[in-house]
Structure 1
Amino acid sequence: MTRPLQNSSFRWFFTGRLVSLLGSSMAPVAIAFAVLESSHSAGDLGIVLAARSIPLVLFLLVGGAVADRMSRGALLVMSNLGAALTQGIAALLLVSGAYHLSAIASVEFLNGTLTAFTSPALRGIVPQLVAGIDNQRANSLLATAKNAISVAGPTASGLVVAAWGGGWAIAADAATYLVAAFCMARLDLPEHAPGPRSALVQDLRAGWSAFRSLPWVCATVAAFAVTNCVYVGVWNVLGPTTAKASIGAVSWGVVLSTRAVGVLVSSAAMYRVRLRRLLSAGQMCFALGALPLVALGLRRSVFWLVPSALAAGLGQGVMGIAWDTSLQEHVPNALLSRIAAYDDLVSFIAVPIGQVAVAPLAAALGDAHVVVAGGILFGAAALAPLLFRSVRGLEQKPKPQPTPAT
């Protein structure tokens, strides 16, 4: 049996993630419009969004350690129930007209804290669900669902907000967490056998030691830190400004949609495609993300930008699955959530630097020069891990063979 959906536990997990992702994709639009409807203040919205983001950084490592200490299935049930409660309270406050900034910010802080515990558990649980089946196919299914919902979810949220208001959209998000909790409670996981009980700080140190002991992990995560800094800073901040002066807002929207389509297509294609050196192939594909940056900086027409954005999206989709599959196959499951937490923290810690630094750089050097330089830096950083033999030589485990009928 090599098809993940033939496994009942994975079907429950996939269903729970599908529903939860739909709610999560609706949440950003819903919370933004709900807060603005109630407060008419962009400052309030900034505080609420920050209240949710800060605990993701503060508690991510703790979440990884906890996910390695206890049953990940139980942790996911509790975190989804907690998220349903927090979003339900937020919805009640907004729908009833009892909006208060401190109350909304508090429940969103709790929601962000729960997410910090959920994310490492999600990345660690997949190998337990598909043991002996096929990690890559499981990751392909999950990534395809996530990418498809990321396209449709905001539109669905916009429709709910337009028809009934942002508070009801948040209530819908709360309901999806309840469904996800029910699905996670149905998982049939191997019995959790914790090792000798140690202090949480010791677990964090052990996770950091394990992270540092894997050169291929450190090299790839360092590359992610640079590429995320460039992508968020240059593409998200300078991209619209540069596009406005060259191809226009409508064409820029087409470019962004094309990139999203590329990610979706490659995520689905990776269900069938198998590569012996999966991580190396992922790194080379990921470097295609430099193309739209260079094309944008050189003020090329939309006819250059669209195919380059498609190529970048295809490469991003391949790399995402290559990375998750490589971690799941080559990192001990008892350490996987902690390694994933350090991965997330280091990968995204440079994002604010890019967001803050890009404007002064553009003012000093010019938008176009910074965008082109960003593209070159992106491509170089994506390819840099291939300088390490541990990255080049990492091989994917053989595809599981179907169990013969008896």
Structure 2
Amino acid sequence: MIKDLAVLRERAFRTLFAARTVSLLGDAMAPVALAFAVLALPNGTATTLGIVIAARIVTQVAFLLLGGMIADRLPRLRVMVVADLIAFVSQGGVAALFISGSSAIPLIAALAAVSGGATALFRPAARAVVPQVVDEESLQPANALLRLSMNAGSVLGAAMAGVLVALVGPGWALGVDALTFLASAILLSAVRTRHTVAAASGRPLTQLREGWHEFTSRTWVWAMVAQLAFANVCIAGGIVVLGPVVAKDHLGGAPAWALAVAAQSAGLVVGSLVAIRIRPRHPVRVAALMTIGFAPPLLALGTYVPLYAVVAGMFVIGFCIDIYEVLFQTALQRHVPPQALARVMSYDSFGSYALIPVGLVVAGPISALVGVRATLVGAAALVLVSGALVLLSTSVRNLRGEPDASQTDVSDDSSTLVRSPTTSGSDH
């Protein structure tokens, strides 16, 4: 384990790790503080909260591909610094409005939209810059440590936000959140990369087409993204929407569901620790197999088993998600040309998560039509089937961890993968 953590001895990665930890802490604080801040306004309702949150999410998704293009065109660390400064200003502006007692929802929503755009600018660059900071041998441990930081920061950030809201109010909590982005920008400005990457050139649409070509010319890339997009629809509807319903009716209510969610967080952390050490010969194959672990919590919820079985299922999905993320992201960093990496990763993120709202919207109507149990068991079955289908691709099964002269990333085996109509055109 000590050998696997050797990457932490490198100053550049330690600084990047610290910056990402601080930034992710702020990301986790924001939803809690923002929700209580909006609801505390004289005109604050669930509807106004939904408008503010939607403004952030819509711009984040809308500008994700643009963020990938910019990160391939400009120095990625500089892009990350600028994105953090934009987030600092926008979040600081939101904090100032709440502290002053303003209830201007349109202005708050506009600033939230700016913050979502900053996130879209930051994330592709943050994922693509890792190979410029560490050597190839350290890529997987570095990605696992960054995932560990994200998972731990999510839990700690939400807890900190709750404490700050209770002690000093939601406006000041948002102010602290804004400062985390400034701290991240300062840290990132001190990171030095091992090498530079040739900047992409040409018109924006040309660059997007080039990124799309790099994305679609590798069957293992688009196949895995399409499968995850489909699985995310099932998970979003089954766990996020119907999970609390089952917990309320059969497991003991909110405390039971809180325990299940905490188990998923624990699984994410353990998955990060395991991902630091494992070195599978065929990492994308292992990542695809990890999607089998997405089904247990859906089955547990759908069969109304005791709480301990649901908790176990939630731990398993957290564990498998994190190993999947680390292995797949490392494969992208090793096999996609550096000058196109951010664009490919933005297509990856966009494709994987763009359909999640569909799962959130249709879960209720489907469960009303066929029943909660049938919906959850059906979702589990669909996740398993999609995992089996993606393994039909020889490039998914056979891609090696480290590229060599005899191995090509551009596969022509797309005919062996049956793409579900639901996933065609479908983040991590």
In the alignment, what sits opposite 1:261?
266
What amino acid is the match of 1:350? Answer: L
The structural deviation recorded for 1:155 is: 1.1
Matched length: 398
Structure 1 window deviating more from structure 2 (220-229 vs 96-105): it is 96-105
Question: Given that residues 73 and 184 in structure 1 are in contact (C-alpha distance below 8 angstroms), is that contact kept between their aligned partners in structure 2?
Answer: yes
Whether 1:7 aligns to 2:10 is: yes
118, 125, 135: which one pairs with 1:114? 118
Instruction: Tell me if the contact between 1:261 and 1:310 (Cα under 8 Å) persists in the aligned partners.
Output: yes
Find out whether 1:317 has 2:322 as its counterpart.
yes
Assess if the C-alpha contact under 8 Å between 1:251 and 1:302 holds in 2. Answer: yes
Residue 414 (structure 2) aligns with: none
Deviation at 1:196, TM superposition (A): 6.8
Give, in whole Å, the separation in 1 of the partners of 2:105 and 2:371: 39
Please give the per-residue CA displacement for 1:13-47, whole angstroms capped at 9, x wherever unaligned: 10101111111100000011111112332221111
Deviation (angstroms), 1:191: 5.6
Structure 2 CA distance for aligned equivalents of residues 141 and 237 of structure 1: 30
Indicate the larger mover: 361-370 or 94-103. Answer: 94-103
- Given candidates 19, 24, 28, the residue that maps to 1:25 is 28
2:37 aligned with 1:34, yes or no?
A: yes
Alignment of 1:363-382 (within 5 A): 363-382=368-387
Q: Is the contact made by 2:60 and 2:119 (CA closer than 8 Å) also made in structure 1?
A: yes
Identity across the alignment (%): 36
Give 1:364's aligned amino acid: L
**Which of 50, 57, 68 is equivalent to 2:61?**
57
Give the C-alpha shift of residue 383 in structure 1.
3.4
Amino acid at match of 2:396: V
Matches within 5 A, 1:51-90: 51-90=55-94
**Gapped runs of 5+ residues in structure 1?**
399-406
Does the Cα contact within 8 Å between 1:70 and 1:194 map onto a contact in 2? Answer: no
Judge conservation of contact 1:286–1:318 (CA < 8 Å) in 2: no
Query: Counterparts of 2:200 and 2:252 in 1: how far apart (Å)?
Result: 60
Which amino acid is 1:180 matched to? S
Residue in 1 aligned with 2:332? Answer: 327
Q: Pick one of 95, 107, 110 that aligns with 2:99.
A: 95
Q: Which residue of 1 aligns with 2:398?
A: 393
> What's the offset of the Cα at 1:135?
0.6
Correspondence for 1:236: 240
Could you tell me which amino acid in structure 2 is paired with residue 212 of structure 1?
Answer: T
Over the residues paired in the alignment, what is the CA RMSD in angstroms? 1.5
Q: Does 1:180 align with 2:195?
A: no
Letter in 2 for 1:30: A
- Aligned equivalents of 2:63, 2:208: Cα separation in 1: 12
C-alpha separation in 2, matches of 1:88 and 1:19: 16
CA distance 1:215–1:245, change in 2 (3 Å): same
Aligned-pair CA distance for 1:159: 0.4
Q: 1:115 to 1:196 in 2, by over 3 A?
A: closer
Q: Which residue of 1 aligns with 2:287?
A: 282
Q: Is the 8 A contact 1:291 1:308 kept in 2?
A: yes
Q: Residue 19 of structure 2 aligns with which residue?
A: 16
1:104 corresponds to 2:108 = yes
Amino acid at match of 1:67: A
> 1:125 and 1:195, CA in 2 relative to 1: closer, same or farther beyond 3 A?
closer
1:146-295 pair list within 5 angstroms? 146-190=150-194, 192=196, 194-195=198-199, 197-249=201-253, 250-295=255-300
Asked if the contact 1:30–1:166 (Cα under 8 Å) also holds between the matched residues in 2, the reply is yes
Q: Which moved more, 1:159-168 or 1:271-280?
A: 271-280
SS at match of 2:276: coil
Distance 1:306 1:363, change over 3 A: same
Contact 1:70 1:192 in 2 (8 A): no
Letter in 1 for 2:370: L
Aligned counterpart, 1:296: 301
Secondary structure, counterpart of 2:278 in structure 1? coil
| Structure 1 residues 90 and 355: alpha-carbon distance in aligned structure 2, compared to 1, 3 A threshold | same
TM-score under structure 2 length normalisation: 0.90
- Secondary structure of residue in 2 paired with 1:271: helix
For residues 240 and 112 of structure 1, the distance between their equivalents in structure 2, rounded to whole angstroms, comes to: 27
Q: What secondary structure does 1:134 align onto? A: helix
Specify whether residues 30 and 283 from structure 1 end up closer, same or farther in structure 2 by C-alpha distance, changes over 3 A only.
same
User: 2: distance between equivalents of 1:193 and 1:334?
Assistant: 6
Q: Is structure 2 residue 133 aligned with structure 1 residue 129?
A: yes
> What is the alpha-carbon distance in structure 2 between the residues aligned to residue 193 and residue 257 of structure 1?
40
CA contact (8 A) 1:160 1:166 kept: yes
Taking structure 1 as the reference length, the TM-score comes to 0.95
Change in 2 beyond 3 A, CA 1:255/1:221:
same
Amino acid at match of 2:374: H
